[in-house]
Structure 1
Amino acid sequence: MATLYELTDQYKMLQNFIEENNVEGFELALSQIIGDIGEKLEGYAMVLKNIESDIAGIKSEEKRLADRRKAMESNLARIKENMADTLLTVEGNRVKTEKFTFSFRKSTSVQIENDAAIPPQFIKVEKTISRSELAKALKAGEQIEGAQLVENQSLSIR
């Protein structure tokens, strides 16, 4: 069975038959190529369906693992909170064992009380482009510098 590359070459040969007005050679070659291409594309489509199924399974497993990780992180936070509560009941808030020393460490963090009162030099704004809004405007006939509608083709397998 021919590869897709070979089939492409055969289509070029068909073009030559047309240009040379060789009707018999054209019809014979065309009937052979159509069968081969259909079989090849069908085989490719089956492989695509298998890969899509694998991807769906992997996505499902990713979600399951992400849920499991979140549950473990929640358990970890709860255990640390319980340990901290217990440590608060001990005089001096410090316990030393053979393997670990438990105590509190001081740290600082910034707490924002009023966003509007923060000076502009401390505000970081990220610029994003709304492609959907741009598409609506361009489809409505607006001319927008730096953007244009481009027609694409995507493979459809039904």
Structure 2
Amino acid sequence: MPTLYELQGSYAQIQQMIVDGAGGLEETLESIEGAIEEKLEAYVMVIRNLEADVIAYDTEEKRFKERKAIAKKGINRMKQAIEETMKLSNRDEVKTEKFNIKFRNNAPSVHILDESLIPKEFIKIERTISKAELAKRLKESEIPGVKLVVNKSLQIK
């Protein structure tokens, strides 16, 4: 039977394989010797470490999204200032040593003035199925083409 130190190294290797997205994970897991309880406990320890990583990634993602939004707002403010300056100076184009700044005509866009006047051929209606309502009704009676399924999920406490 492998020593605790060897097992820790093996599970650290497994965690790194998961983080790296490497293949062969199942073979590595099966090759580790030990009692089922020890293996499962070690698996849960790896899961807990990865869950902590996910929380850290989510925090960083949120921070980057906030910084991205701030940068986009800054870009928009500066573009607006350029537009206003060019309009006030009655210029449609400004050439500098590094850039060519000009107004261009965009593709025409549709502005709806009164929806009630639009012909029906241009109106699309999306069809959705309410699974929540189906579940309520299925508890009372059968509905053709639908069945209520109870699945199991793993819980770690």
Q: Give the TM-score taking structure 1 as reference length.
A: 0.70
Q: What residue is the counterpart of 2:150 in the other structure?
A: 151
Corresponding residue for residue 121 of structure 1: 121
CA distance, structure 2, for counterparts of residue 39 and residue 109 of structure 1: 64
Do the aligned partners of 1:138 and 1:149 also contact (CA within 8 Å) in 2?
yes
Is residue 105 of structure 1 aligned with residue 83 of structure 2?
no
Give, in angstroms, the shift of residue 91 of structure 1.
Answer: 3.0
- Amino acid in structure 1 at the alignment position of 2:60: E
What letter is aligned with 1:128?
T
Q: Is the 8 A contact 1:4 1:37 kept in 2?
A: no
CA distance in 2, matches of 1:84, 1:4: 61
Which deviations, in whole Å up to 9, do the C-alpha atoms of 1:23-82 show, x marking residues without a partner? xxxxxxxxxxxx922211111111111111111111221121112111211111111111
- Superposed CA RMSD in Å reads 2.5
CA spacing shift, 1:68–1:128, aligned 2, 3 Å? farther
The answer on whether the counterparts of 1:94 and 1:104 sit within 8 Å (CA) in structure 2 is: yes
Give the deviation of 1:151 after TM superposition.
0.9
Q: Helix, strand or coil for the counterpart of 1:147?
A: coil
Distance 1:98 1:54, change over 3 A: same
Residue 62 of structure 2 aligns with an amino acid whose one-letter code is K
Q: One-letter code of the match for 2:66?
A: D
SS in 2 for 1:91: coil
Q: Distance in 2 between matches of 1:67 and 1:116?
A: 40
Q: Which AA in structure 2 matches 1:105?
A: R
Q: Which has the higher helix share?
A: 1
Deviation at 1:145, TM superposition (A): 2.2
Structure 2 residue runs without a partner (length 5+): 3-27
Q: Point out where structure 1 has 5 or more consecutive residues left out of the alignment.
A: 7-34
Q: CA deviation at 1:5?
A: 5.8
Q: Tell me the number of residue pairs that the alignment of Structure 1 and Structure 2 aligns.
A: 129
Check 1:72–1:126 CA distance in 2 against 1; reply closer, same or farther (3 A cut).
Answer: farther
| TM-score, with structure 2 as normaliser | 0.70
Q: What is the match of residue 61 of structure 2?
A: 62
List structure 1 segments (4+ residues) > 6 angstroms apart after TM superposition: none
The one-character-per-residue Cα deviations of 1:100-146 (angstroms, maximum 9, x if unpaired) are 2222212221112233332222223333322222222212x232222
Q: Aligned equivalents of 2:45 and 2:91: distance in 1?
A: 69
Please list, as runs of the form range in 1=range in 2, the aligned pairs for 1:1-158 lying within 5 A after superposition: 1=1, 36-107=35-106, 108-139=108-139, 141-158=140-157
